Amino acid sequence: MHHIPPTPSMAVAREEAENVMFGALDNLSANTKIKPKDIGVLVVNCSLFNPTPSLSAMIVNKYKLRGNIRSFNLGGMGCSAGVIAIDLAKDMLQVHRNTYAVVVSTENITQNWYFGNKKSMLIPNCLFRVGGSAVLLSNKGSVKRRAKYKLVHVVRTHKGADDKAFRCVYQEQDDDGKTGVSLSKDLMAIAGGALKTNITTLGPLVLPIIEQLLFFATLVVKKLLNAKVKPYIPDFKLAFDHFCIHAGGRAVIDELEKNLQLLPMHVEASRMTLHRFGNTSSSSIWYELAYTEAKGRMRKGNRVWQIAFGSGFKCNRAVWQALRHVKASHKSPWEDCIHSCFMDRQVVAEFIRMLDISENSRIEAPLLQYLSIMIQNMDNEHAIYYCFSNGYINSIILHPYELDGGDLAPYYMSFLRDMDTQKRRNGLILESDKIVDELYYLKDILSVDEP
């Protein structure tokens, strides 16, 4: 894709696949010291690029894996295929004792870039980026002390029987014969339905008994009494310490944050992965786990919930438990930037969240002055991105101020100017068009009184 004009040839697509997969596997080998001959199971998933010989065969050839290896190549299963691959590897390890299984998750961009003009097929061009991961699983008792995590649950939901769900992410040709992946406008609603079904299955396995009783009681009242009772949303923060939500897009992360009643810190890894690496398809949940490790937040006994969505339509979940305090791996994807990520965000956005400002709150000039100073001193791209992508800063912008001729108006003007400067300098956008319009509208009004 770096050629002008682009040359999406088979040779270049193979080169991309080799660079990603072999790079991830070399890093895995360096961190685990595993020898290629010790690998008994190999599972590779890549949705849109399936050459012959297969990607798994390319790995076998490159690393000269043993002749009796159980190798699998999963294609066309979308962004949730990483969890499916983990589930397959788990099943294989239950049958074949004392062995290692390697799961490689990737997606190929070269031959799947859309060159047409159909809007629904152009969206993936904006989201998807090159990426990949390699995960080592084992059922050997001797490696338990070295293992990072234990796989606790895998829950899979498939909505393919429904026609709308089946076609909401669909590879097709446009009227000009150009191939691409079309995203339906019903995608978010279908994803929500798949999530609800999946949670219904997963909930009893992980939630405390009190949360299960509250959920069941609400369901009984609604069914038996036909009452318009608002569905009870279980508090999954009581069951999990970390959340790895597929970085499919900002709308996906926002919706899950809202529906699962999560805090910004719970979706921080997902937002950062989307910003830093884009949508890397099935491997995105592993970039998010690596982010949590690099931040030093993974402690022994912590539970991780990986949430993935994919074409079909599928919603898959994996639950892991940390067996020890986990540090960042050598050559982690976050190695070059993790120490500067989000330090400013924790000062600004979290500070505003803790203030719990409502429409009835009175915001004084000193607070706006303090926020302006902090925003002026934000020089980290990742921190700025997060601060501008959540609702807390927006609540300050849209607050119903009483601009009665006192000293509040100049401070508010200064606050808006600092926000606008950061936004323009970093090419960022706020939460919604409404807020952006409001920001410029208020600036125009207040500029009248400026000298």
Question: 45, 46, 79, 244: which one is catalytic?
Answer: 79
Asked if 341 is an active-site residue, the reply is no
For the chain, first and last CA: distance in Å?
A: 52
Question: 73, 246, 316, 394: which one is catalytic?
Answer: 246
Contact 184, 169 (CB under 8 A): yes
Contact 103, 124 (CB under 8 A): no
| Alpha helices (runs of H) in 278-364, residue ranges in sequence order | 284-294, 343-355
Question: 275, 337, 380, 399: which one is catalytic?
Answer: 275
Question: 73, 242, 341, 382: which one is catalytic?
Answer: 242
Comparing C-alpha atoms, which of 127, 113, 109 is closest to residue 19?
A: 109
Cα torsion angle, 20, 22, 23, 28, sign = positive
Asked if 275 is an active-site residue, the reply is yes
Whole-angstrom Cα Rg for the chain: 24
Question: 139, 198, 279, 302: which one is catalytic?
Answer: 279
Q: CA–CA separation, 400 vs 360, rounded Å? A: 8
**How remote is the C-alpha of 379 from its chain's centroid?**
24
Asked if 242 is an active-site residue, the reply is yes
Q: How many helical (H) and strand (E) elements, i.e. helices and strands, does the chain have?
A: 16, 10
Comparing C-alpha atoms, which of 310, 380, 31, 55 is closest to residue 160?
A: 310
Asked if 339 is an active-site residue, the reply is no
Beta strands in 36-175 (DSSP E): 39-45, 70-74, 100-107, 131-138, 149-158, 169-173
Asked if 279 is an active-site residue, the reply is yes
β-partners of residue 308 are 316
H helix or E strand, kind and range, residue 254:
helix 250-259
Contact 416, 401 (CB under 8 A): no
Contact 140, 281 (CB under 8 A): no
Asked if 330 is an active-site residue, the reply is no
> 123-128 long-range contacts, Cβ below 8 Å, gap at least 24?
123/183, 124/180, 124/181, 124/183, 127/248, 127/249, 127/278, 127/279, 128/278, 128/279, 128/280, 128/281
Question: 108, 158, 266, 302: which one is catalytic?
Answer: 158
**How remote is the C-alpha of 421 from its chain's centroid?**
28
β-partners of residue 137 are 101
Q: What are phi and psi of 307, to 5 degrees?
A: -120, 120
Three-state SS string across 67-93, please? CCCEEEEECCCHHHHHHHHHHHHHHHH
Contact 320, 304 (CB under 8 A): yes
Q: Catalytic site residues? A: 79, 158, 242, 246, 275, 279
